[in-house]
Amino acid sequence: MEHTVVVPIRGSLPAEGQASVGAVSAEAGAAGPAIAPSHPLEGVSDTWLDSLASGLTEHGWLSVDVRGQLEDPLLLALREEVRILDRTETMKAAGIGRGTDLMRDRSVRRDRIAWLQGMTAPQQALFAILDQVRLGLNRRLFLGLRRFEAHYATYHRGDFYRRHLDSFAGRASRVVSLVLYLNEGWSSEDGGALQVFNRDSQHEICGAVLPEMGRMALFMSEDVPHEVLPANRTRYSLACWFRQDEVPLPL
Ligand code: OGA
Ligand code: MN
């Protein structure tokens, strides 16, 4: 078994939750040393960023294969991390809302999550790419995205997440949602599709994304209702939210 991927490569662990993720908020690419990748990044391509921005503008969402931008070893390392975490107490039943408002309502969502701390080499490589996405979207769409937060999620057989929005209008908290899928050989019989609803006609289904390894869904957090259909096998993913606020506000 590969067990190197969850070994922290830096000394002190940050506090729980999003503290370390805040470290990636530095503007203009001046990311702090805590997330510097161990080797220089090739960088995501401008044409790829163009296609993300135009999908968000024209439809409010898109799904894309990231294998051209993220290398297979990175995807496999992230998948290995979530698999290992899923066997530990680190993965917790996901809630709705935050802080004292946090509710764990199993009729709404049944996944288990673990926040990424950015302490492992694969997470640092991913964070560097996510920060390029953040800056690329800011340059193209003037969204003023200042930072991001990310968690792994596991849906076991039968788990789902009912139709919802990731952010409430006007809070300027979560602005763009990104979900990266980490499952090899996913077929439609495996269930677990991300079902996307029309942002203008919110009960009309306008697309479905199978959570296949290397596929990514990107959508406007306040506008696009979506749902995770019950999974028939274990479903691993990584969700990220690009935010406009400097410090977390209650959702
Ligand atoms: C979420 C979510 C979608 C997915 O975590 O808010 O909607 O496909 N995830 O995992
Ligand atoms: Mn969601």
Residue whose CB lies within 8 A of the most ligand 1 atoms, among 177, 186, 236, for a mutation test:
177
User: What confidence tens digit (pLDDT) does each residue in 108-130 have?
Assistant: 899 999 999 999 999 999 999 99
Q: State the distance from the centre of ligand 1 to the C-alpha of 189, rounded, in angstroms.
A: 19
Answer with the residue of higher pLDDT: 56 or 8: 56
Q: Smallest Cα–Cα separation from 105: which of 114, 97, 96? A: 96
Q: State the distance from the centre of ligand 2 to the C-alpha of 39, rounded, in angstroms.
A: 32
Does residue 88 belong to any structural domain of this protein?
yes
- pLDDT value of position 11: 30
Residue with the smallest CA separation from ligand 1 atom 5 is 239
Q: Smallest Cα–Cα separation from 230: which of 73, 107, 95, 138? A: 107
Answer with the residue of higher pLDDT: 11 or 75: 75
- pLDDT value of position 3: 35
Q: State the distance from the centre of ligand 2 to the C-alpha of 223, rounded, in angstroms.
A: 11
Contacts 24+ apart (CB under 8 A), 88-94: 90/114, 91/152, 91/154, 94/153
- What residues make up the domain containing 35? 31-96+103-243
- pLDDT value of position 83: 97
Contact 152, 91 (CB under 8 A): yes
Residue with the smallest CA separation from ligand 1 atom 6 is 166
pTM: 0.82
Ligand 1 atom nearest residue 94's Cα: 5
Does residue 187 belong to any structural domain of this protein?
yes
Q: Structurally, how many domains does the chain consist of? A: 1
| Pairing of the two strands 226-228 and 112-115 | unpaired
User: What confidence tens digit (pLDDT) does each residue in 72-98 have?
Assistant: 999 999 999 999 999 998 898 877 666
Q: Which helix (H) or strand (E) holds 234?
A: none
Ligand 1 proximity of 179 Cβ (cutoff 6 Å): yes
Does residue 24 belong to any structural domain of this protein?
no
- pLDDT value of position 102: 62
Answer with the residue of higher pLDDT: 234 or 15: 234
Find the mean pLDDT for residues 57-80. Answer: 95
User: What confidence tens digit (pLDDT) does each residue in 203-222 have?
Assistant: 899 999 999 999 999 999 99
Rg (CA), the chain: 17
Does residue 22 belong to any structural domain of this protein?
no
Query: The domain that contains 74 carries what CATH number?
Result: 2.60.120.620
Ligand 1 proximity of 237 Cβ (cutoff 6 Å): yes
Residue 192 pLDDT > 80: yes
Does residue 222 belong to any structural domain of this protein?
yes
Q: State the distance from the centre of ligand 2 to the C-alpha of 166, rounded, in angstroms.
A: 5
Residue whose CB lies within 8 A of the most ligand 1 atoms, among 226, 229, 234, 251, for a mutation test:
226
SS3 content of the chain, % helix, strand, coil (to 5): 25, 25, 45
Does residue 137 belong to any structural domain of this protein?
yes
Does residue 15 belong to any structural domain of this protein?
no
Ligand 1 atom nearest residue 155's Cα: 10
Does residue 5 belong to any structural domain of this protein?
no
